[in-house]
Structure 1
């Protein structure tokens, strides 16, 4: 069975704004975004290009600071959470080092922390099995498909056993068949590790299939347009994508967009 998120807030945003100064004007990228994400919950940030999804994720990760409002993680600042290594991050590109074997890419964070090699190798094998890449420890990234490389990136993000997994459109560059398969595999991994997951996507079906809730963002400037509960039972199956309930959720989310 999959995890059932408790209602204990893990991530909280209060009236968050983000402004950028360009050569010609100040740009308001995010406007008054407030939301709570529960511990152990899987949520998606959904919206069209330019609505601020990635900016919102970067604010949660303390990669940038908001120009207004507040971001808290388990009652502490985003910076404190980052320094406490609560985050694992998966980007749109796997960002693997071609000259390092798969197992050494996965355990790079542990290596930087001074973990002994024997333990690093043991952890790499555990994670490779978790993400369905058993037997690929001594391969190099260039020997893997795009989908396999992203699984390595997910394994690396999990190497520090993060409480929160932040994922920025990790499957957007993949073909539809590979993407759907990795959606299913990601949920299987999530059900075992128990992390809170924040997943950025511009795909309505993907957000529905993965999530407990979907935060819909509208652009110009980015703002929270709707919060949609996804009542589909877990574990999710491929057949659910063809159900009337699934198509009703797609229609409902599309109707919730403002100014698109």
Structure 2
């Protein structure tokens, strides 16, 4: 399908998916994603939106080189997804924080830096700066089980940013939270993104969340996942909670909802 003009921060494509299809072989072959073509520009915040089982997470994992496509190619800044992963271009935040309960918060954030064998002083300094960025400096010496779900997810975001990735991949990171916590973390995520400037690909099944966060919303059809619409979100930045009740916000949400009809 033809992709409309993009509204990202620059005109440089950072991620390009060409004719991506993914088949899982089980008792019977399952076509999860079918012929997806998409360009994501550097510094852009893009949401992958669709119902459960439409292939959103599969598509994200393909970008991250956690899965390999059955058909098609993925280009990341002129490299393959595997090369980009080996170059540590990705930070990944999963649906659940996946923190180590026996490690304190600072130690959890430092973990990928330990893998890279950075000097201890540098690891601590970077972890402390990131905890300040996500508003958790006071909890550096707490254990994850002492924090709320939303705070744990902020630790996971800090950990994902520890390697200073160019691309942040987020798989429904706030879906397990109550609506109040979710909206607050949406605002905090945008504040973090405005400071780090990473390209963000964000998986969600929430239309309001996608509209509030994104430069563009990519709508996927029910199984098999096909890219059926790409909707520009022209709401000004920085986004504010008042925008959630604006006429333009509801118009955009309705347009996205209408794009599911007949799919």
| Same fold at TM > 0.5 | yes
Q: Aligned equivalents of 1:124 and 1:21: distance in 2?
A: 41
Aligned residue number for residue 230 of structure 1 = 233
State the superposition RMSD in angstroms: 1.1
Q: Is the aligned partner of 1:114 residue 2:117?
A: yes
Q: Is the aligned partner of 1:149 residue 2:143?
A: no
Q: Aligned equivalents of 1:166 and 1:140: distance in 2?
A: 25
Q: What is the aligned counterpart of 2:22 among 11, 18, 23?
A: 18
Aligned residue number for residue 213 of structure 2 = 210
* CA positional deviation for 1:259: 4.8
Give per-residue Cα distances to partners, 1:68-117, cap 9 Å, x unaligned.
01111001100000000000000000000000010000010001111111
Q: Aligned equivalents of 1:71 and 1:258: distance in 2?
A: 29
Q: Residue 8 of structure 2 contacts residue 215 of structure 2 at CA under 8 Å; is this kept in 1? A: no
Aligned residue number for residue 11 of structure 2 = 7
Q: Is the aligned partner of 1:71 residue 2:97?
A: no
Q: Residue 225 of structure 1 contacts residue 258 of structure 1 at CA under 8 Å; is this kept in 2? A: no
- Structure 2 residue matching 1:43: 3-state secondary structure: strand
Q: Aligned equivalents of 2:154 and 2:65: distance in 1?
A: 24
Normalization by structure 1: what TM-score?
A: 0.97
- Structure 1 residue matching 2:103: 3-state secondary structure: coil
Q: What is the aligned counterpart of 2:188 among 179, 185, 210?
A: 185
Q: Number of matched residues? A: 257
Aligned residue number for residue 199 of structure 2 = 196
Query: Any unmatched runs of 5+ in structure 1?
Result: none
Normalization by structure 2: what TM-score?
A: 0.96
Query: What does 1:95-110 align with in structure 2 at a 5 Å threshold?
Result: 95-110=98-113
Query: After the TM superposition, which segments of 4 or more aligned residues of structure 1 sit over 4 Å from their partners?
Result: none
* CA positional deviation for 1:220: 2.5
